[in-house]
């Protein structure tokens, strides 16, 4: 089984439930790290869902601050990650890990 260390997705969180990343078919993803960066001068709230379950709900990211955490979560083929912020274009995110094919 080949493994690839990769950045699964980076982008800017929106306010709707759009998928940030979907695990490709016949693959398994190990999410190792999630970084959130608040680009505004006010506290922003972020919700992340992985594989249909709440990974964090209402996480507060401080003004002009960064939250970095180790996830160590396994997702199967076709499972998704969503990143939603309370204000559009306020929070950037990066999701990294290992893809097993």
Residue with tokens 């709440």: 54
Four-way CATH pick for 3-100: 3.60.110.10, 3.40.50.10260, 2.60.120.340, 3.40.30.10: 2.60.120.340
From 21, 12, 1, select the one nearest 71 (Cα to Cα): 21
Q: What is the pLDDT of residue 26?
A: 95
* Cβ–Cβ < 8 Å for 91, 43: no
With bands split at pLDDT 50, 70 and 90, how would you rate the model's confidence at 20? confident
Paired sense of beta strands 91-100 and 3-12, if any:
antiparallel
pLDDT, averaged across the chain? 94
DSSP track, 48-69:
EEETTEEEEEEEEE-TT-EEEE
pLDDT in tens, 36-89: 999 999 999 999 999 999 989 999 999 999 999 998 999 999 999 999 999 999
């Amino acid at each position: 089984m080949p493994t690839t260390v990769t950045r699964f997705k980076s982008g800017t969180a929106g306010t709707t439930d759009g998928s940030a990343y979907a695990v490709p078919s016949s693959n398994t993803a190990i999410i190792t790290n999630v970084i959130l960066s608040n680009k505004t001068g006010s506290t922003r709230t972020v919700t992340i869902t992985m594989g249909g379950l709440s990974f964090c709900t209402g996480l507060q990211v401080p003004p002009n601050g960064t939250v970095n955490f180790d996830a160590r979560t396994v997702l199967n083929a076709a499972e998704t990650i969503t990143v939603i912020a309370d204000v559009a274009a306020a929070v950037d995110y990066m999701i990294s890990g290992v893809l097993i094919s």
